[in-house]
Amino acid sequence: MMHSGQSFHPNSRWGILKPLLLLARRKTQVTEIYPVQNVAAPPQLHESASADVYANWYHQGESLANQKLYAAALESFDQAIACNPEATDAWVFRGVVLIYLQQYEAALASCARAIAIDPNNQEAWLFHGVALHRLGHYQRAYRSYDQATEPNP
């Protein structure tokens, strides 16, 4: 924990915690780097079989990520995205996994794709900021963090 007199250093462990603390102000509880949610298949999937396949890949990726099996989780999210390229949650969680794999440019691209699909997705903006922060683009990162804390319309 930081004490008064300590400064925030962008490359310290606080670098990734800063956006989580910002988001926590807007949510009642943040228990993990990315809160586990019961994610139903996105409504744009019309065939129940496709929706089930998407949900299975997504939940497998979520489970693997929570077990810190990030490479395997990435493959699962890629499969979920192949089932539904407009699935914002899969793009965001893919970005989170890529952050853990220290593939920040790829994480940034995944989060940017999620933002293109849903510009009001707070988690997409949050992890977009984390990726920018890890790449050393601090001003841009803080703009993304600000977007993450904006109320949805």
The neighbour count for residue 39, using CB atoms within 10 Å, is 16
Residues 132 and 142: their CA atoms lie apart, in Å, by 9
Give me the CATH code for the 14-26+46-148 domain, please. 1.25.40.10
Q: List the structure tokens of 86.
A: 């407009």
Q: List the structure tokens of 59.
A: 């939940």
Domain definitions of the chain by residue range: 14-26+46-148
**Single pTM value for the model:** 0.70
Tens of pLDDT, residues 72-130: 999 999 999 999 999 999 999 999 999 999 999 999 999 999 999 999 999 999 999 99
Tens of pLDDT, residues 14-64: 444 455 545 544 443 333 444 445 454 455 544 556 788 999 999 999 999
Please name which of 29, 11, 9 lies closest in space to residue 20, comparing C-alpha atoms. 29
